[in-house]
Amino acid sequence: MKPVVLDTSALLAMFFGEPGMEQMRDLFHKASEADRPIFISAINWAEVLYKIERKHGNAGLETARQFERTTPLEAVPVDRELAESAALLKNSHKLGLADAFAAALAKQKKAELVTADQEFKAVEKEIKINWLKE
């Protein structure tokens, strides 16, 4: 299994039952079987948490935390190298800040980026994108 990085939209599709939810479930199942992590930047993880808490309150927040503790999801801390790479991608491709961190992490890990966010079309030539189907 190739390394995988999630954008916020990919994880929210699973949590909110949106299109792409089944792809995400399959991805986590395969990662568990292969004992491989699925990466998300700490910035994107923060975005997931605040959106879940906004929609489902503390119960939703605790569900997300439990999910992170019991699945192969790995929130990757931001260091200087990742921050600088994200800044460059944000400026050169006009990405949102959280999206720039997802793209930078995918680039750093030489990973496939899983997303439903069309904003990532701007980096398709630099990063392998796995688009969630609608």
Single pTM value for the model = 0.95
4-126 is classed in which CATH architecture? 3-Layer(aba) Sandwich (3.40)
The residues, any chain, with a CB within 8 Å of residue 90's CB and separated by 6 or more, are 96, 97, 99, 100
% of the chain surpassing 90 pLDDT:
98
**Does 48 score more than 90 pLDDT?**
yes
Q: Is 134's pLDDT higher than 80?
A: no
For residues 72-86, average pLDDT: 98
Tally of residues, the chain: 134
pLDDT of residue 133: 85
Interacting residues of 104 by C-beta distance below 8 A, sequence separation 6+: 41, 82, 85, 86, 89
**In the structure, what pLDDT confidence band is assigned to residue 1 with cuts at 50, 70 and 90?**
confident
Write out 30-44 in H/E/C secondary structure: HHHHHCCCEEEEHHH
